[in-house]
Structure formats: C-alpha cells, structure tokens
C-alpha cells in the first residue's frame, strides 16, 4: 500500500496506516495545508474553492472530508459532486474561486485516490507552490476558523452542462458538419464520470451513442488506463455495432483514446496528433508535448510551418512551455489534449469535439485517417522500484555512458538516436521507473526498451 506526496498533489491507496496510505487523517491534513496556503496568497474577507470528484468508490468519503476541512478553515466550497477534471478546471475561473480540488487518481486502479490541487486560474500548481503545501502539511502550522466564521458548502450540478456548452461554442468545433455526418460511436466510460459527460456531449452533436461501462459506480470493469490490452470489450462492441469508431477515457476524463471501425486502436499517442492536424490546418502555429510523446506531432507541426518543442513530463510543465511558446495546441502523448482556446488543462471533451470535426471535414474512416500520419511505434514499460534503489545514480551512469548521443536531462534522461529514442524517468505518481521508447517498428521499440531494462537491472545490482 502506498502514499505518494509530491508537487502533483497527494495520492495513495485507501485504508491502512496513517502516513503510509491515503487515510482520512491524511486527506484532512493535506486539505488543511492547501487551505492554509491558499489563504496566504492574498488577504481577503472570503475565500472560495471548487471541489469535484470522479466516481471512485472512496470518492464521496474523501470529498466530504476535504470539503468540511475547508469549511473548518473558513473557506466556502462549491460542491460539483460527480464531475471531471477539466470540468473542475473551467469551473474555478467561472466561479471567481481562489482554487480547486479534484478527487481522482486518474488512471490508477480503484483502490487509489488523490487530491489534485488547482490555483485560481483552474490550473495545476507548479513545483514551488506544491513544495510549499508539503512544507505546511509537515509543520502543522494551521489555524482554523472560529464558530462564527466557518465556511459554507454550496452544491452546483450545472457545470458539466456548462462545460459542454463551452466546448460546442469553440470556433473550430463544426457542430453542423458533425450533425450531418451522422456518426455512430461506442463510448467506454470505465464506469466513471466519462460515462456521463462524453455521451451528453455526443448527443448534443447529433451522434448515435452506444454506451459501454457508463454507469458511474466506480467499479472499473477493466484496468482504467486506456491502453489496447485493457480494451477487448470495446473492440468487440465497435465491430458488433458497426460503429464508426470507439471512444475510451480514463476515470477523470482528461485522457482520451480512439478505436477505429475495425476494433483496432487508433493509437493513444495519435489522439493529440490528429487534433493538432485539425487545429493547425486552420490556425497555423507552434505545438508542445512532453518528452515521452511521439515524434509524429513534430512532423505534423512542421508540415504546417510551425515549431515543435518538448517539455518535461507533467501537465504543469507542458502548460508552462505552451504559454512561453504561445502555441495553438499541445498536450501529452497519453491522450491529453490541451487547447488554449478553451483552457490550459487536458480535456477529453475538447479532444472528442475536435476529432469529430476533423473526421467530418475529411469524410474518411478512422482507419484511413490513421494512415495519413507518420508511422511510429512506441513501447511503454515500467520497472518497480525496490526499497533503497538509487535511481538518480543509475540515471547519471546511463547519461555518462551515452554522453556522445543527443541527450536531454531536464526530466530523467532522454536519448535521441537517429531512427529512435528512449526516455527513462522516475515517476512522480507511482513507485516505478518509466521507460518509453519509439522507433520505426514495434519490434525495434520493444527491443530498445528491453535493452535499457536489462541495463538498469545490471546497474541496480552493482
């Protein structure tokens, strides 16, 4: 069982010992630290925080603990209830709130939950802000409100609809063309809030929706990470229903993957590539993704005369570089679309609307669309960390060994070879080393990944 305290927030498994897992005491402790930090940002009479959650079994319990902790600090709470990460993100500025908290562990299995923390723009906190909250949590320097100055909780269930309206109003979302195309789509909502939000959006676009695992009860029917090996049921359903394609999201709806009409994966990495292709064809400009994302985004960007740059892994790092480079679209190769015209956060609803607009415009099947993009193959593997393993030392040794190659070390070690690349990094959210490789064939990508797994294993023994 695990508790991970990082600049990304607090994440862990439910139950067990305080400080070792995400227990009620830990939830209160870190919600308190966030509330204290928020009040330190500016001196004002009233503070407000937006709180929402995915459909995890533990979600209601954790949300009630978090909200009432904020109330105890004299902070007013807007309770969105069942929501999505991007919905909470857009709600924060719409509410003129001071921050937001999303209760979700993203793609992690059902025993996990987390507090994801937002600033007053509805964007994730940066490293300095996250570190300050961890410092407050460890210091116990918290003062709570007296009985006459407690906060209040206000429920607001309108924001999922408001989010959909905001997406439909985006200038590049071609509602008319999508309606005329009369698409049929299967949606795998992994029994979380994507099973509410994605069908509602599609229905507003005139799409014939077939629901699969769209009951928001938190009982994930398969591993909730939207990867090929977890999506056999979706593949079968797409073919059986003769659908135009399939959609799958993670539990908090910030990651998006597509499946073609044959039940084959479009490729999670190519979600951003396709959406960028559509946006760049109408608003040429620059793009950003993280270091573990496919080279195909670079190729598509350069086709339209733009410049591509890679950031360190982590949404806050992607957003920071996007703002610096004034990009028109960016995101992460895990199916995370960040479209500044909407907001600076990964948003599967925006991605669905842009992808549908692209399909309606090109009037081709999803499998045919996939063939129009550069063909790269990725391998994504993990190494479980053993206690006491000196990961930084291992990465330094690898960096030295490959010093004559094209190296990037802003986030672990990335080695760019002529026809392939490998990125090795310690995860911020799980006790693992992530190994990403990309090459011109799946066998080459897998072989490259296995080579570095063996190399890390050898170094770990020495």
**Under 8 Å CB-to-CB from 326, ≥6 apart: which residues?**
285, 286
Q: Could you tell me which residues are beta bridge partners of residue 384? A: 432
Is residue 12 helix, strand or coil?
Answer: strand
Token pair 């918290």: residue? 142
Strands (E), 83-197: 99-103, 112-118, 153-155, 184-188
Please indicate whether residue 311 is annotated as part of the active site.
no
Residue among 111, 93, 99, 110 at smallest CA distance from 37? 99
**Which residue out of 32, 106, 235, 342 is catalytically annotated?**
106
Q: What is the DSSP letter of 124?
A: B
Annotate 321-366 with DSSP letters as a single string: HHHHHT-SEEEETTTEEEBTTTBSS--HHHHHHHHHHHHHHHT--H
**Residue 39 Cα distances to 44, 45, 70, 119, angstroms:** 8, 10, 11, 12
Burial of residue 38 (CB within 10 Å: 0-12, 13-18, 19+) is: buried
Q: How far apart are CA 3 and CA 16, in angstroms?
A: 10
Contact 133, 141 (CB under 8 A): no
Residues 6+ apart with CB under 8 A from 34: 99, 101, 115, 117, 133
Q: What is the DSSP string of 175-204?
A: HHHHHHHT-EEEEE-TTSTHHHHHHHHHHH
Distance, CA of 297 to CA of 76 (rounded, Å): 42
Q: Give Dmax (Cα) for the chain.
A: 66
Q: What is the DSSP string of 374-394?
A: ---EEEEEEEEPPTT--HHHH
Kindly list the catalytic residues: 106
């Amino acid at each position: 069982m695990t508790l991970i305290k990082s600049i990304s927030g607090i994440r862990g498994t439910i139950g067990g010992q305080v400080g070792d897992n995400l227990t009620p005491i830990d939830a209160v402790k870190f919600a308190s630290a966030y509330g204290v930090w928020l009040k330190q940002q500016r001196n004002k009479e009233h503070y407000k925080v937006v709180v929402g959650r995915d459909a995890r079994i533990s979600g209601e319990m954790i949300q009630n603990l978090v909200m009432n902790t904020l109330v105890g600090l004299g902070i007013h709470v807007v309770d969105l209830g069942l929501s999505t990460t991007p919905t909470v993100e857009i709600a924060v500025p719409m509410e003129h709130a001071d921050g937001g908290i999303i209760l979700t562990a993203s793609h992690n299995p059902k025993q996990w939950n987390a507090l994801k923390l937002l600033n007053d723009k509805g964007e994730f906190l940066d490293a300095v802000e996250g570190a300050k909250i961890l410092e407050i949590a460890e210091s116990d320097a918290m003062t709570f409100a007296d009985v006459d100055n407690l906060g209040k909780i206000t429920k607001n269930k309108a924001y999922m609809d408001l989010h959909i309206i905001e997406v439909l109003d985006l200038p590049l979302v071609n509602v008319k063309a999508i309606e005329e195309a009369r698409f049929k789509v299967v949606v795998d909502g992994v029994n979380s809030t994507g099973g509410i939000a994605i069908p509602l959006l599609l229905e507003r676009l005139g799409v014939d929706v077939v629901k699969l695992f769209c009951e928001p009860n938190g009982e994930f029917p398969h591993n909730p990470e939207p990867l090929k090996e977890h999506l056999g049921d979706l593949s079968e359903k797409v073919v059986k229903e003769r659908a135009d394609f399939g959609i799958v999201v993670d539990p908090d709806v910030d990651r998006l993957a597509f499946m073609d009409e044959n039940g084959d994966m479009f490729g999670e990495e190519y979600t951003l590539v396709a959406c960028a292709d559509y946006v760049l064809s109408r608003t040429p400009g620059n793009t950003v993704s993280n270091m573990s994302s496919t080279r195909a985004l670079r190729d598509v960007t350069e086709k339209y005369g733009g410049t591509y740059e890679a950031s360190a892994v982590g949404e806050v790092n992607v957003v920071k570089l996007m703002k610096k480079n004034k990009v028109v679209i960016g995101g992460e190769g895990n199916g995370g679309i960040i479209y500044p015209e909407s907001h600076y956060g990964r948003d599967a609803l925006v991605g669905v609307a842009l992808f549908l607009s692209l399909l309606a415009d090109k009037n081709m099947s999803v499998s045919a669309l996939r063939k129009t993009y550069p063909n790269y193959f990725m391998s994504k593997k993990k190494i479980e960390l053993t206690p006491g393993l000196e990961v930084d030392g291992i990465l330094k040794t690898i960096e030295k060994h490959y010093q004559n190659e094209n190296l990037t070390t802003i986030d672990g070690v990335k080695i760019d070879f002529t026809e392939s690349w490998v990125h090795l990094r310690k995860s911020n959210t799980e006790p693992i080393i992530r190994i990403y490789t990309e090459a011109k064939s799946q066998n080459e990508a897998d072989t490259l990944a296995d080579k570095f797994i063996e190399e890390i294993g050898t170094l770990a023994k020495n």
